[in-house]
Amino acid sequence: MVSRRAVLGGSAAFAGAAALAACGADAGSQTAGSAAAAATAAKAPAKITWLAWYGAGAETEQYDLNVAEFVKLNPQYSLDVINVGNLDAISEKLITLAAGGTPPNVCQAQYAFCVDLASRGLLAPLDNLMARDRVKREDFIPGEIDEFAWKKQQFGLPKDNALRALFYNLDLFDKAGVKYPTETWTWDDFVDAGKKLTNRSPATGSPAFGMHDFPLNINDSPSYSITRAFGGEWYTPTWTASTVDAAATVEAIQFVADWRNKHRFTPLPGELTGGGDPFRRGQVAMGIQFAQQVFNLKEEKVTFRYDVVPLPRGKAGAFPCATGSGQCLVKGAPSAEAGWQLIRYLVGPESQKRVTSLKRWGSSRVDTLEAILPTDGIPKSFRAVFIDPLQGKTKDKPVAIPT
């Protein structure tokens, strides 16, 4: 099997092989052979090594598109992709490669890891390159761009966004006689609806639940939105101490735990049949997800009606929080300029628009957000929930998740 690495370096390898063959055919002309080899090496594309992760199927196709288009547009470079294949392993792999003296040029870093990698001295700041090439922070989604900054320096640029929102099943709401959620819903409204939507022992049909199970986790964007809605925080402003035991934060944690333990509108283990997402199977009336959920619902041809609203408000307000992964320039890698050109391509408007038009991944750029809009207009509130807040068209402004 020919690997992606072999394919991308194929032209350079073929040229090198041809030069060696010519040298062997003229053994008496060692000087000429050396000159030919040097000329071939001088023409060989500069190699860029990209440390990334992606799954099988459509995500692999997306990365293949990125690779093919970049090499087509930049024939002076060859691109060597190292797929770690595991989100949690990316940092360890980068540390190992850097310690071994073979750091990649570009590293894909999830929002939760970028600051840690920068603090270890593994990433190079991008500010001077951004200023030189007029790449503006304002081009990217507010809040999310800050998740890739540390000590007032930019160490990565986001490549996508995963703004979470509340999906709801209109058919289950109608069946339970519950009014649909609105953009003014509070978390108290959510709990009240969740209890009314739950029916463990229906006369006919399968059990239904208000919401899928949802634990509140640190470094999870909807969890942070809920915490902020209650007036809580996870860390002090200087990040020198945790505030997980502050009264408002504890209130948020207890609030989410009560969905299962007190109000009982999320399913307990063993109460659901089948695998996968219970919202997409029509077993729960509400679910917190990002825009890719629309793609999944359409791929699976669900028969129930659905729509989406922003996450509910709390006593402190509403705090939309977009996260994602980004592309970072690795410190000490050869050909920093080549690595920067790859990053510019991956987060540039043309690449972002093309990838976002696949209708699975939201853009990290304000000017290409609309490429993900459903062509059939379903769900009808898609733009109001997944695009307007990120373009500054709502009163609730996006915030950065502290990591």
pLDDT tens per residue across span 329-343: 999 998 899 999 999
pLDDT in tens, 270-312: 899 888 899 999 999 999 999 999 999 999 999 999 999 999 9
pTM over 0.75: yes
Report the percentage of the chain scoring pLDDT > 70: 89
DSSP 208: B
Residue 65: its pLDDT value, please? 87
DSSP SS3 for 56 = coil
Residues (pLDDT < 70) of the chain are 1-43
- What is residue 54's predicted lDDT score, i.e. its pLDDT? 86
Which pLDDT value is given to residue 3? 38
In DSSP notation, 305-344 reads -EEEEPPPBBTTB-------EEEEEBTT-S-HHHHHHHHH
Give SS3 for 117.
helix
Q: Half-sphere exposure of residue 319, counting CA atoms within 13 Å on the CB side?
A: 23
Query: Cα–Cα distance between 204 and 217 in angstroms, integer?
Result: 36
What pLDDT does 40 receive? 43
**Which pLDDT score is estimated for 42?**
53
**How many Cα atoms are found within 13 Å in the side-chain-facing hemisphere of 35?**
5
What tokens appear for 52 in the block?
A: 């990334």
Q: What angle do CA 250, 256, 262 make, to 5 degrees?
A: 105
Handedness of CA 183, 185, 191, 195 (dihedral sign): negative
Give the pLDDT confidence score for residue 403 in this predicted structure: 79
pLDDT at 8: 39
Tens of pLDDT, residue by residue over 63-85, are: 888 999 999 999 999 999 999 97
For residue 313, list its beta bridge partners: 186
Write b or e for each residue in 322-347: b if 16 or more Cβ atoms lie within 10 A of its Cβ, otherwise e.
Answer: bbbbbbbbbbebeebebbbbbbbbbb
Q: Give the residue carrying structure tokens 């977009």.
A: 322
Taking the alpha carbons at both ends of the chain, their separation in whole angstroms is 40
Angstrom distance (rounded) from CA 275 to CA 281: 9
Q: What is the pLDDT of residues 164-189, one digit of tens each?
A: 999 999 999 999 999 999 999 999 99
Q: From 288, 161, 316, select the one nearest 223 (Cα to Cα).
A: 288
H or E stretch covering 382: helix 382-386
Cα gap 225→235, rounded to integer Å? 14
Rounded alpha-carbon distances, angstroms, from residue 243 to 280, 283, 284, 320, 388: 36, 36, 33, 20, 31
* 365/136 Cα distance (integer angstroms): 11
Which residues share a beta bridge with 161? 362
DSSP-assigned beta bridge partners for residue 15:
none
Q: Say if residue 99 is exposed, middle or buried (CB neighbours under 10 Å; 0-12, 13-18, 19+).
A: exposed
- Would you state the structure tokens that stand for residue 81, as one six-digit string? 């992709």
Phi, psi of 235, deg, nearest 5: -140, 165
Give me the residues paired with residue 49 across strands. 80
Task: Please choose, from the candidates 87, 94, 69, 90, the residue with its C-alpha nearest in 3D space to the C-alpha of residue 79.
Answer: 69
159 and 53 Cβ atoms separated by less than 8 Å = no
